Amino acid sequence: MHKIAIYTDYVCPYCLLAEKVVQDAIGDLPVEIEWRAFELRPEPVPTLRVEDPYLPAIWQRSVYPIAARLGIPIRLPSWSPQPRTAKAFEVLALAKERGAGHAYSLGVLRAFFQEDRNIGDPDVLVELAAEAGLDRNEVRKALDEGTYEQSHREALRHAREDMAITSVPTIVVGEQVFRGMPTVDELKSAILLAKHS
């Protein structure tokens, strides 16, 4: 089975939108989606604030029109400053071990951009992980004890150093790297090429 890697930050709306493009491109092909961590603003970089002009402007100019074209309900979350995503990615490391990385990542993106839930809150993350089929006690313990902190640090190092990721979504299909959101046709071509190589 072939893999598509999506480097993501759960506070990036384009990552939710890109997932629809990925699904449309995959269709019935046997392709696995692997979500990979890339924090746009890791500690101590300040996260974005809804009150500042940047977020509302980019949403009006770009996010909402693309979402409308793709038929995806989405809204600018009210949380300000935006939550950090390190803890959410620690849970992703556990979710991937349990074969639930895709379900969990989609749940987190939808929770933030469709339900206005605070994905920086460990209680919310435990709920989202449970909804993706994980054991809530195991998730809580992993967060409390920092079990996956090192895994997350290594994931960030890999994204920055090995893959030279600077923005999300970055989608990797075989040898092809799409920085930003490709079209369905571009992605489908890359999938078919990877399948035959």
In DSSP notation, 152-171 reads HHHHHHIIIIIS---SS-EE
Ranges of each domain in the chain = 2-196
pLDDT for 8 equals 98
Please give the share of the chain, as a percent, with pLDDT higher than 90. Answer: 97
Contacts of 138 by beta carbon, 8 Å cutoff, 6+ apart: 94
State the pTM of this model: 0.97
Q: CATH for 2-196? A: 3.40.30.10
Judged against a pLDDT cut of 90, whether residue 1 lies above it is answered with no
Span 181-185, average pLDDT: 96
**Separation between Cα atoms, residue 74 and residue 116, nearest integer Å:** 10
pLDDT one-digit tens code per residue, 95-147: 999 999 999 999 999 999 999 999 999 999 999 999 999 999 999 999 999 99
